[in-house]
Amino acid sequence: MDRDHLVNIFILSGLIFLAPLAYADVDLRKKAPSQYLVKKGDTLWDISGVFLKSPWRWPSLWEENQQIKNPDLIYPNDVIYLLYSDGKPYLTTNQPSANKLVPKVRSSGRFTPITSIPKKALNSFVRDHRIVATQRITPMPYVLASAGLRQLIAGGDDIFIRGILDPEINQYDIYRVGKVYGANQGLAAENTEIVNIGQVQIISKQGDISRAKVLNSNGLIKKGDIIVRPQTLRFKPLYYLAAAPAGIKGQIIGAVDDAYKIARHDGVVVNLGSASSVYAGHIFSVLKKAEKVQDPRTNELITIGNQIIAELMIVNVFENLSYGIVLNAAEIVSVGDVIIGIE
């Protein structure tokens, strides 16, 4: 049989869901279609939003029926069917024919499979951003100077590093120290965001001075930039998804890349972390921060706020802070907006 016409039997890698999940909470849209043609650029979040009022509840539809417990990879031009089993809805990519599910045959290699949310939205900040306790930064090795004592350092240049390095590791990441989150954001201890700007290969060591070559950089490297052990972050196409517990309440305290207006798929920093029992995949509602306005007739100060304007998914968790990504946004999200567990 020609390879281009083999039946795809790949399991959707990374399709991991939180269990048990309340299937009874599935709330279909009133005009949910019986089928949907997947388009290039679609995400699983988008497709689930076609059928569900709350797209983050997609596991309920994809896992409801044993026939699609491990669904095939979903590609553009596939058709998603909304079917029912014992009165409960579920989605499948297998075409129903005379009450039977007919497995489809697809030419492999024609398209790239869809993802849960755009990979670009994740990679644009999660992979290169980390948060560390501020007190940990001072002891870290750092860029002392370029080998030619030039002020500007780029990829291909040799540099000198000062600090104790692990003798078993020859490649390190270079990070730029960024924003500090502390008392101004209601935190008991200071935490600092660090941003990856390049990688280095160690050439030689003498005491606490090492020589290294800059393998690549996202911009000009500066003296004082810190040297950090490489960390591989493995982000699956889908996350464990669950409503954040109703009692958890936090706040958006920063915008990744200093975005002034935060919109759909933008990254944010929230003042909740593993210490608050938050993990990747928690879904929060975003409330517009309360503002006081003066009534033009009575001169009273009226508080306006507490409207839900967006949903946010946690994607990378540290002890006291986390990165999140804004999903459905009815209006612009701002630093200071409140996040709460979904009721």
Residue 304 has what pLDDT? 81
Question: Rounded distance, CA 55 to CA 196, Å?
Answer: 32
Longest dimension (CA), the chain: 80
Rounded CA-CA distance 273/253 in Å is 13
Angle at 245 between CA 243 and CA 248, to 5 degrees: 125
pLDDT of residue 157: 94
Which of 233, 252, 255, 256 is CA-nearest to residue 316? 233
Range scoring the smallest mean pLDDT among 88-102, 204-218, 259-273: 88-102
Q: How much is the pLDDT for 11? A: 23
Return the pLDDT at 192: 96
Question: According to the model, what pLDDT value does residue 343 have?
Answer: 65
Residue ranges of alpha helices (H) inside the chain are 44-51, 58-62, 119-123
C-beta atoms surrounding 277 within 10 Å: 12
Residue with more model confidence, 55 or 309: 309
Confidence bin at 306 (pLDDT 50/70/90)? confident
- The structure's pTM equals 0.74
Question: Model confidence over 22-49: pLDDT tens digits?
Answer: 334 568 888 899 999 988 878 777 888 8
| Angle subtended at Cα 131 by Cα 143 and Cα 343, rounded to the nearest 5 degrees | 170
- Contact criterion met (CB below 8 Å) for 278 and 339: no
Instruction: Indicate the DSSP class of residue 6.
Output: P
pLDDT band at 226 (very low <50, low <70, confident <90, very high): very high
pLDDT of residue 15: 29
Residue 201's SS3 state is strand
Residue 78 phi, psi (nearest 5):
-70, 155
Using a pLDDT cut of 90, give the percent of the chain over it: 42
Distance CA 3, CA 291 (A): 62
SS3 state of residue 183: helix
- Residue 234: what pLDDT? 57
97: exposed, middle or buried (C-beta count within 10 Å: 0-12, 13-18, 19+)? exposed
pLDDT at 340 over 90: yes
Instruction: Name the percent of the chain lying above pLDDT 70.
Output: 77
pLDDT at residue 135 is higher than 70: yes
User: CA-based angle 305:311:313, to the nearest 5?
Assistant: 135
pLDDT digits (tens, 9 = 90+) for 251-304: 999 998 777 789 888 899 999 999 999 988 889 999 988 888 999 999 999 988
Looking at every residue in the chain, the average pLDDT score rounds to 80
User: Rounded to whole angstroms, what are the CA distances from 248 to 149, 187, 236, 255, 329?
Assistant: 51, 16, 25, 21, 20
Using the CB atoms, write b or e for 245-263: b if 16+ within 10 Å: eeebebbbbbbbeeeeebe
Reported confidence tier of residue 104, pLDDT bands at 50, 70, 90:
low
Query: E strand or H helix at 62, and its extent?
Result: helix 58-62
Q: Are strands 129-133 and 191-206 parallel, antiparallel or unpaired?
A: antiparallel
Question: β-strands 249-255, 209-217: how paired?
Answer: unpaired
Structure confidence at residue 95 (pLDDT): 75
Write the CB contacts of 184 (distance below 8 Å, at least 6 apart in sequence): none
- Kindly report the number of other CB atoms within 10 A of residue 240's CB atom: 14
